[in-house]
Structure 1
C-alpha cells in the first residue's frame, strides 16, 4: 500500500487500533451539539460492536453505515 492510498484509507477509531475502517458510526451528543450536527467514528469489523455499544449507552448513535457509503454522501 502506497502513502497516498494509506492516507485515503479510514482507520478504526478504537484507541491503539490501526486497522482499516469498514463502518462509519454517525453520532451526535444532544447536550453539546445542535440536532443537525453529526460526528463520525470509524470502525473495523472487530471494534464495531464495542464502539456501537459505547455510543448507544449514551444515546448518541444515530446510524451505522459502510464507510464507502458515507463518503458518497
Structure 2
C-alpha cells in the first residue's frame, strides 16, 4: 500500500493530517473537500484556507485505534 503524499505543491512527504474544508460560496454545507498534509505543511494549508474565510478543520489522517 502506498502512503498518501502531502497536498502542498512540490512536497512529496508522507501525509499524516487531513485538512477538511469547503468554499461556502460554491459548496453546500454537506460538501467537504479534503487535502492531506505532512507535519511540515499542515499549518500552512490550514492558514491558507482560513485566510480566505473557508470553514476548515484538521484531523489525523489515521484514526486512533479504539479500545
Q: Which runs of 5+ in 2 are unaligned?
A: none
The CA RMSD measured in Å over matched residues stands at 1.0
Aligned to 1:53: 47
Of 10, 24, 41, which residue of structure 2 is paired with 1:16? 10
Q: Does 1:29 align with 2:23?
A: yes
Calculate the TM-score normalised by the size of structure 2: 0.86
TM superposition outliers: structure 1 runs of 4+ over 6 Å: none
Tell me the alpha carbon deviations over residues 20-62 of structure 1, each in whole angstroms, 9 at most, x when there is no partner.
0010000000011111101001100001111011011112243
Report which of the two has the higher share of helix: 1
Q: Secondary structure at the match of 1:49?
A: helix
Calculate the TM-score normalised by the size of structure 1: 0.80
Aligned to 1:40: 34
Aligned to 1:62: 56
Distance 2:55 2:4 in 1: 19
Matched pairs, number: 63
Label 1:21 to 1:61 Cα distance change in 2 as closer, same or farther (>3 A): farther
